[in-house]
Structure 1
């Protein structure tokens, strides 16, 4: 399942970034031929735009936070989704907020999670 989702995600990124080159997403990777060692990731055209990321996991939150657990004490945002955030930064977008649902298969309290998500969305309205 993860491999399948990863392949679709990669296909989406490839198609969006190919179409978006010189077409509203980015002009270049930001570097110049004069000094190609600096300014990578600064050619985005989406400055001033913000994005929100929501994910759901079977893994409990502790799988990300506890020592010797599967995700090596790396949060969703600084671990698994780090590349996604950098891709958006490449375009010039800024992260507004993230919300991650954990332990959704074995230990979910769906009404509570939906309440938390509703609070999250209401809080976002104040930031827009």
Structure 2
């Protein structure tokens, strides 16, 4: 069975998590950070240019809220831990949400969080 577009499954500290970045979640992020979500969706961004880390945490948090039916405060805290353990999780989440766009980033994944694919 095919998984829902936008779903990313990860294991973090022996806990199975589902993150879902949906159109509703993207809309929520756009309302807070602007149409390109503070550059997150900007394809013209320089490869070495860092994103605002708050936007990354917010993106993971919104996906946890949807995927795990988690309250915002708990999701914010867990999103911070996930990104601290594995900065590539944001790229994998975007690739899950936009599979037709291909890989948005390159790099070696670090930390204990990992995608189950």
TM-score clears 0.5: no
Q: Higher relative contact order at CA 8 Å, sep ≥6: structure 1 or structure 2?
A: 2
Structure whose CA Rg is larger: 1
More helix by share: 2
